[in-house]
Amino acid sequence: MAERFPKDFLWGASSSAFQIEGGWNADGKGMTVADYNSFKHSEKQADSRVASDFYHRWREDIALMKELGIRIYRFSISWARMIPDGDGAVNPKGIAFYDQVINCLLDHGIQPFVTLYHFDLPYALAEKYNGWESRRCVYAFERYARICLERFGDRVQYWQVINEQNLMIRVDERMNIREPNLQKADRMRAQMDHHMFLAHALATRACHELVKGGKIGPAVSSTCTYPLTNRPEDVWAARMNDNMKTVYCLDMHYYGAYPGYYLRYLEERNIVPVMEAGDEAVLKDGRMDYIALNYYRTLCASYLPADKEHPVGMRVCRGNEVDFDQYGYFRDEKNENLTASEYGAQIDPMGLRIVLNDYYSRYHLPLMITENGLGMADTVSEDGKVHDSCRIAYMKRHLEACSLAIEDGVELMGYSMWSFMDLLSSHQGFRKRYGLVYVNRDEKDLKDLRRVKKDSFYWYQNVIRTNGELL
Ligand code: BG6
């Protein structure tokens, strides 16, 4: 049988700093917005203080990565571990930590795949400047990015600038937005988004300047929206749902300019961000080299007309804080054709094939899946093992979709599943687990933090060993 995946396919596993590291204030690390938010729920659930304790167990964890056989490990650097207050003194112990991790990965034959910023803005920047609302945050990020690129760029070739800017910008808690007035909050959001685009472009330019052969891109939260019916209005609503939530962001990283429909929305809401002379040139100079994408689910939308109380462009969240509806454009709907995970994510491997084809035909850039996985309430069975057959079935179907997309002509560099080990989920602490490796702790009881390889670990190990046999 012909091989389904290219010989040099980058099989990997992923994580992010605040979700695994722990050691939240160890060796000089500063608090982050992610720490701050997780501490708000400390009474009830796990927080980032210890998380999976990677900060102290990285040698053991990297040995497990080697055993799994992954070719790349996708992780993020904590800005506040490198520069505790975001724009002040550099923390040598932070540098030393990532130096050791990167060297150990390379010694084990694993390529580091590094994200600069995964939801964890140094909290000091939120206090000093209200974070991304200020241009000072842009320059603080550029400085931080340059330090990482200069320091680690001799060993790290692949970089992602910001994880899921397009999703993070919608979540007030992550952006530290506390403005109750919707229009004012959206104005602040648009300004923050603009600043992150500038930061993205500046970091991209810095990578091209400082890292020989380096490749850099965004890691977007991909969306694929189906129309609820074949009414033309619903088809348009589905397109706009993708455009407003993801595509405008990719266009910014590719063309360096807001697409017309997005400018129209910003004008309708009277929230056009302040742009300075020179911004346009910076944005155009920061073109992404590849697209990293995270894929979990698909969406469904119908047309939502505006009315007297709800002017065109007004956004409201109905269910979770991520899936907003937009008046005059779209409304989120349930897709009755799909089943959902126990945590409500609609499972849809075909959607992944659609997304991969869509992004590739739009930009003709290599694609890399940096997150895909199933959150479940795994437990250790009486036999001491973790039987996660649902996760195996999920990964198998999504990898089949990848191989079909490759046959469709998509240039897919690799697949890095979420997540290497159990980690702090955004809302459900350690109740919802994604790992191939179980971490023996629960919400409040740290137990022994022992690592247990799940059934999916052995299954994926075989997939990697055979370069894609999906048994
Ligand atoms: C992605 C994030 O959006 O989804 C991860 O990049 C996150 O950080 C993952 O953990 C799963 O979401 P959740 O809410 O189930 O943890």
Is ligand 1 within 6 A of the CB of residue 348? no
Q: Of 20, 52, 78, 371, which is best to mutate to test ligand 1, by the most ligand atoms within 8 angstroms of its C-beta?
A: 371
129, exposed or middle or buried, with CB in 10 Å at 0-12, 13-18, 19+? middle
Residue the block writes with tokens 């409201």? 316
How many angstroms separate the CA atoms of 342 and 295, rounded? 17
pLDDT score of 340: 86
Phi/psi at 367 (5° precision): -115, 150
338-350 per-position pLDDT tens digit: 998 888 888 999 9
Q: Is the CB of 120 under 6 A from ligand 1?
A: no
Residue 51 has pLDDT above 80, yes or no: yes
Q: Which of 75, 425, 431, 433 to mutate to test the pocket of ligand 1 (most atoms within 8 A of CB)?
A: 425
Q: Which long-range contacts (CB under 8 A, 24 or more apart) does 41-46 make?
A: 41/429, 44/443, 45/428, 45/429, 45/430, 45/431, 45/443, 45/444, 46/424, 46/429, 46/430, 46/441, 46/442, 46/443, 46/444
For the segment 196-206, what is each residue's pLDDT rounded down to a tens digit?
999 999 999 99
Ligand 1 atom at minimum distance from 373 CA: 11
Q: Which residue carries 């179980």 as its tokens? A: 438
Dist CA 195 CA 78 (whole Å): 20
115 CA distance to ligand 1 middle (Å): 14
* pLDDT at 2 > cutoff 70: no
pTM of the model: 0.97
pLDDT digit string (tens) for 236-272? 999 999 999 999 999 999 999 999 999 999 999 999 9
What angle, rounded to 10 degrees, do the helices at 54-68 and 92-107 form? Answer: 20
Q: How far apart are CA 154 and CA 10, in angstroms?
A: 20
- Overall size of the chain counted in residues: 471
Atom number of ligand 1 nearest to Cα 423: 10
What pLDDT, in 10s, does the model give residues 33-46? 999 999 998 988 99
> What is the number of other CB atoms lying within 10 angstroms of the CB of residue 264?
13
Digit-coded pLDDT (tens) for 276-295: 999 999 999 999 999 999 99
Mean pLDDT along residues 115-119 = 98
* Mean local confidence (pLDDT), 8-18: 98
pLDDT mean over 396-405: 98
Q: What is the mean pLDDT of the chain?
A: 96
Give the span between the Cα atoms of 80 and 78, in whole angstroms: 5
Region 99-118: what's the mean pLDDT? 98
Distance 430 CA to ligand 1 centre (A): 12
* 164 included as an active-site residue: yes
Residue type, 449: L
Q: How far is the CA of 378 from the centre of ligand 1 (A)?
A: 17
Amino acid 97: pLDDT: 98
Model confidence band, residue 183 (pLDDT cutoffs 50, 70, 90): very high
The whole-number pLDDT of residue 438 equals 98
As a whole number of angstroms, the distance between CA 115 and CA 119 comes to 11
User: To test the ligand 1 pocket, which listed residue (52, 426, 430) has its Cβ within 8 A of the most ligand atoms?
Assistant: 426
Amino acid 114: pLDDT: 98
